[in-house]
Structure 1
Amino acid sequence: MGMYRTYFTRISCSCFSLFFLCEYLIYYFVLIQCSWPVLDPRKADQTIEPKDSNQMVKVMLLADTHLLGPKHGHWFDKLRREWQMYRAFQTAMFLQKPDVVFILGDLFDEGQWCSPEEFNAYIDRFHSIFHVPAGTKLFVAVGNHDIGFHYKITPYLQKRFTDAFEAPPVRLITLEGSHFVLLNSMAMEGDGCFLCRPAEVLLSKISRRLKCTKNPSQCSKSISLSQYSRPILLQHFPLYRESDEDCNEPDEAPEDEKSQKFRERMECISRESTFSLLDMLKPRVSFGGHTHHGCHRYHTLSNTHEFTLPSFSWRNKNNPSYALAVFTPNNYEVSKCYMPQESTVIFLYFSGILMILIYAAFSYKFLCRRQRLFKERERKKQP
């Protein structure tokens, strides 16, 4: 009886070890390989002099979490993908310890359709999965799945999200002398609607404050910022581009999707809005999401690097990733951290289960033979 107990104990421990590896340890094994990028002094903007009190800001950026709602998606799909995002995010919090986290839209998959009760449940789930420790700040941008595309947005939907996450159409956040401009991409339609007009006014004010800070002799000090630096633009949609054809990243779109033409205001903001943003703000770097695939581009018009972040969820991307960036008022550096691939975890499960089954079969065969020999020995001992 003791041999069978040992046999089943070993099989149970093997199954538990496999589960623990695939659902917990793998996130540490993979994400511990990520590190914060190092600033290159040669890339510093020599026209901007940081203050002695300025500290480097460590920023984590991700997009398109798409928490499933009550209408679409199987319960197991929801459980699997939300656990993946929870473990990846909390492991990143433990290992990388960012100062700030920005989540760039499409927090929810059904935000535009859900009832007030369902939306409140969404908020609770979001804060449970993407809980940040004390000392880490969390900011979000709104996405089309949160409140709808421009033509579907109502004042109610817009206000509900704004009140829940303090995410107005345009928001300026200053951290250690670095200016972050959070933007509602759907407010860049340019049609003077209830959402677009206030966004245009706020952008003009931010642009003026930046210009006044850069040239204080030309403006009143009352509207100037404490320090000038080129801003960082953060929104859900990428800036205008024809397609992903020129994107060459490990997490780029599949080849059959790269050549598909983007529709302005649907897959990216319009050409006019892009030129207007780059001209008004002159950002040093821009981050977006929405396409679910990675991309890096350079805009010569304003000397702006643009990073499109892939989806953070296995539901949309087999090889999800997030960005780690460091900022000072006159310099920055960006790197990408790749999370465990869903295909790798599936392979580990299949391989592990196969090895456990083989071990169980051989062990059981050996156990039966040993049991037979034991019985024969006992029989021979009898008079």
Structure 2
Amino acid sequence: MAAWPNPALPLLLVAALLAFEDWLSTPSCSGGPPRHGPGDLRAMMVADLMLLGSDATYADRLFRDHVMYKFFANSIQTLKPDMIVVLGDISAKGSELTERKWISVIEQFEGILGHHSSLPLLTVLGDKDVGNCANLEGKFVHRRAKHLPGLDSCGCGAFEISNVSFVSLNAVALLCGNNNLRFGVEKFMERESHHFQSLNEAECYPLGCEKREGSTDISWRRNSMDSGSGPVILLHFPLHRFDAEVTGVPTSAEAIVSDHSSVFSSSKQRGIYDRLHTLPANSTQYILQALKPRIIFNAHTGSFSDFLHADGTREVTVPAMTWKTRGVPGFVITTFDTKGTVTLSCCLLAKEWHVIMGYLAFLCLTALAVKLSHQLE
């Protein structure tokens, strides 16, 4: 039986591997590590994980899940978020899965989080989770939503954590026309609008109480709330932009780019893409005017964007945290401080081929170290 030429070499190699993985899985965040004062709420916003659950290949289970576990563990240990928000498409093909396989996707995500799965978790439904308008059906959405924390039968939810109110919307339903799910989401938004207006009028009802659920009238109401005084809105699709060159201001140099949108070269084709992959203008207007969002977080495009609407509402698109898209995987870390200020930082992770080349380089260096150790024996 062959023995190691130097008994200390295995320990040195293991230590080097751990140091290498720690360096490889450390996120690169814009502006450096964000500050976290006492009483602040920090959220880790991720999106488009596109997990396969029980259909995952050996490469997914033995390599990609392991690396993703390292990404989450190192990011959480470094940035210390108080909660995790998933902005849709937790599954790569959830609309095609049985309920048991859907549960396996959630279990896969919990395995990737490891012991950090005890953190508060908010989840939004995406189009890959529930399908598109052609096959969107209420009972199916309910079977998906009931396994995710806090979502109702329409795939919407309202939460309050550390005095920060969150409202998650089923944006897929809002893309559809005469669909019962869309009507259900609109009624949900109207109830939330009524709730937050009553808060401003000092008629505070606790979240989820019967009085809050009472209103079913979805007609437009005059909203006396100030812009930005409403909840944090979470949804999967970006909002419609009303002639962005005039009424909106991009606050980051990086434009929204995705695998889908890059193939649309003409303005006509771009318009078709916008109708399929952004919320309709009327839904966008209703969200902005009825809910007066403090800030909006969405996903779907695959890359980061920070946009300011004409009314001053800030809309942040979170990059995909997967290697299944062409962009650089990443997430957004957001801090809600006690003064009402929202600060965020976009954190990027290593590309898949960088990780593969890194491990191959480490194996080559390990083989070389063993060979040299034998020669010096």
TM bin, normalised by shorter chain, reads 0.7 to 0.9
Instruction: Report the AA paired with residue 182 of structure 1.
Output: S
The residue number in structure 2 matching 1:46 is none
Per the alignment, residue 289 of structure 1 pairs with 299
In structure 2, the residue matched to 1:308 is 317
Aligned to 1:144: 127
Residue matched to 2:108: 125
- The separation in 2 between residues aligned to 1:243 and 1:11, in whole angstroms, is 63
For 1:332, the equivalent position in structure 2 comes to 342
Change (3 A) 1:353 1:10: farther
SS at 1:263's partner residue? helix
1:97-146 Cα deviation digits (max 9, x unpaired): 32221111111112111123222322322222235648731110011111
Change (3 A) 1:127 1:357: closer
Change (3 A) 1:355 1:133: closer
> 2:256, 2:238 → 1: CA distance?
16
- State the match for 2:218 in structure 1: none
1:98 corresponds in structure 2 to 81
**Structure 1 residue 87 corresponds to structure 2 residue 70:** yes
Amino acid at match of 2:161: L
Does the 8 Å contact 2:130/2:140 carry over to 1? yes
Q: Aligned to 2:34, which of 24, 33, 36? A: 36
Check 1:349–1:316 CA distance in 2 against 1; reply closer, same or farther (3 A cut).
same
Partner AA of 2:173 in structure 1? A
- C-alpha distance in 2, partners of 1:236/1:290? 6
For each residue in 1:241-277, what CA deviation from the matched residue of structure 2 results, as whole angstroms up to 9, or x when unmatched? 5999976339965899286526245322222221221
In the other structure, the counterpart of 1:178 is 164
For residues 157-201 of structure 1, what are the alpha-carbon distances to aligned partners after superposition, in whole Å with 9 as ceiling and x for unaligned?
201111101323332212233221111111213634221111101
- Identify the residue that residue 372 of structure 1 maps to in structure 2: none
Q: Which residue of 2 aligns with 1:68?
A: 52
Q: Deviations over 1:349-370 (max 9, x none)?
A: 3433343444455555555xxx
Indicate the RMSD between aligned Cα atoms, in angstroms. 3.7
Question: Is the CA contact (8 Å cut-off) linking 1:106 and 1:146 kept in structure 2?
Answer: yes
2:86 is matched by which residue type in structure 1?
I
Q: CA deviation at 1:292?
A: 1.4
TM-score by length of 2: 0.77
What amino acid is aligned across from residue 83 of structure 1 in structure 2? Answer: H
The residue aligned with 1:195 is: 181
Cα distance 1:131–1:77, how it changes in 2: closer, same or farther (>3 A)? closer
- Measured in 2, the distance between the counterparts of 1:133 and 1:365 equals 45
How far is the alpha carbon of 1:233 from its aligned partner?
1.0
Q: Indicate the SS of the match to 2:65.
A: helix
Is the 1:101–1:137 contact (alpha carbons within 8 Å) kept by the matching residues of 2? yes
* Aligned 8 A contact 1:236 1:289 in 2: yes
Which string of whole-angstrom CA distances, capped at 9 and with x for unpartnered residues, describes residues 206-256 of structure 1?
A: 11222232244xxx65568xx994321111111125999976339965899
Identify the residue that residue 276 of structure 1 maps to in structure 2. 286
Equivalent position to 2:254, from 249, 272, 275:
249
Are 1:167 and 2:176 an aligned pair? no
Q: Which residue in 2 is equivalent to 1:210?
A: 196
User: Residues 15 and 150 (structure 1 numbering): CA distance in 2 closer, same or farther, change over 3 Å?
Assistant: farther
TM-score, L = length of structure 1: 0.76
Alignment partners' CA distance in 1, 2:32 and 2:241? 30
Distance in 2, Cα, partners of 1:127 & 1:297 = 32
Give 2:221's aligned residue: none
Give 1:340 deviation, angstroms.
Answer: 3.3
Which letter does structure 2 place at the counterpart of 1:263?
Y
Residues paired across the two proteins, number:
343
Structure 1's unaligned 5+ residue stretches are 40-53, 368-383
**CA contact 1:170–1:182 (8 Å) conserved in 2:** yes
Q: Distance in 1 between matches of 2:299 and 2:275?
A: 14
| C-alpha contact (below 8 Å) 1:283/1:304 kept by paired residues | yes
**Cα distance change on mapping 1:343 and 1:14 into 2, 3 Å:** farther
Q: Distance in 1 between matches of 2:374 and 2:40?
A: 60
Larger Rg: 1
SS of corresponding position for 2:96 = coil
Aligned to 2:24: 26
Aligned to 1:375: none
* Identity across the alignment (%): 22
What are structure 2's unaligned runs of at least 5 residues?
A: 206-210, 213-224
C-alpha change, 1:234 and 1:345, in structure 2 (3 Å) is: same
3-state DSSP class of the match of 2:285?
helix
Whole-angstrom distance in 2 between the partners of 1:143 and 1:201: 20
State the distance in 2 between where 1:99 and 1:122 align.
Answer: 23
CA displacement, residues 36-95 of structure 1 (integer Å, 9 cap, x when unaligned) = 3469xxxxxxxxxxxxxx932211111111112455x64213432222222222223333
